[in-house]
Chains A and B, each alone.
Chain A
Amino acid sequence: ETGVTQTPRHLVMGMTNKKSLKCEQHLGHNAMYWYKQSAKKPLELMFVYSLEERVENNSVPSRFSPECPNSSHLFLHLHTLQPEDSALYLCASSRSRQATYEQYFGPGTRLTVT
């Protein structure tokens, strides 16, 4: 799993805090993704970036703000979160957004909102 790394691995934050999740891919891919994984629910796609341009935003609340400064790095800025936002946040990358390419996932950040 050294292809896609995520930091921190665990994060506990209060509802008034501001924090950021970081993702880095070492695979030379052009597309990056943020997913939310909650217990007993399908993975929820949050954001998609292709060549550093946001191409998809799946009705995600504005308290989640993504940033993609280059094709290797992806951030998810968090502010004034709610307890229901507690989940595993997964970053993924793929060679391109084309449907035929598989995605490579990082280990995730386990977020707890108190």
Chain B
Amino acid sequence: AQSVAQPEDQVNVAEGNPLTVKCTYSVSGNPYLFWYVQYPNRGLQFLLKYITGDNLVKGSYGFEAEFNKSQTSFHLKKPSALVSDSALYFCAAHGGAQKLVFGQGTRLTINP
């Protein structure tokens, strides 16, 4: 069965520092990987995706993610965090014909 794990329920980072939100996946076949962000009282917003090609994917708001096939990971990163990045982040994976599966989410808090 497909699964996505986000091992950290909460990540705290000081403003201006780099941030990483971790994600590992288990799917059959080639993985299609996504990151979404959810601000309070809002739906999920698409940030970026990996389908094929370069392992480093760039997305919205300065975020990027690195696909690592050997470690089955797709960690979200940003070089310099902003207070406005504080939100709930979801990793999701799709294994071709199977349905999109989401992780439990990681709450990111950026401290001024």
Instruction: Name A's B-contacting residues (CB within 8 A).
Output: 1, 4, 6, 40-43, 45, 48, 56, 58, 90, 92, 99-100, 102-108
Contacts and interface: CB of A to CB of B under 8 A. Distances in A.
Interface SS of chain A: loop
Interface string B79-112: 0000000000010001111111111110000000
Interface string B38-51: 00011111100101
Nearest to A110: B41
Contact of B104 (A42, A99, A106, A108): A42
Contacts, number: 53
Nearest to B94: A99
Nearest to B32: A99
Nearest to A106: B43
6 contacts: A40-B9, A42-B104, A92-B43, A99-B32, A105-B45, A107-B41
Contacts of B103: 42
Given A99-B94, A100-B32, A43 B102 contact: yes
A104 B90 contact: no
B44 A90 contact: yes
Nearest to B5: A42
Contacts of A40: 9, 104
Contacts of A43: 44, 90, 102
Contacts of A107: 41-43
Given A99-B94, A100-B51, A106-B43, A41 B99 contact: no
A41 B98 CA distance: 20
Given A1-B45, A99-B100, 19 more contacts: A1-B42, A4-B43, A40-B9, A41-B104, A42-B101, A42-B102, A43-B90, A45-B100, A48-B99, A90-B43, A92-B43, A99-B96, A100-B32, A102-B34, A103-B44, A105-B43, A106-B43, A107-B43, A108-B42
B49 to A, nearest CB: 6
B67 to A, nearest CB: 14
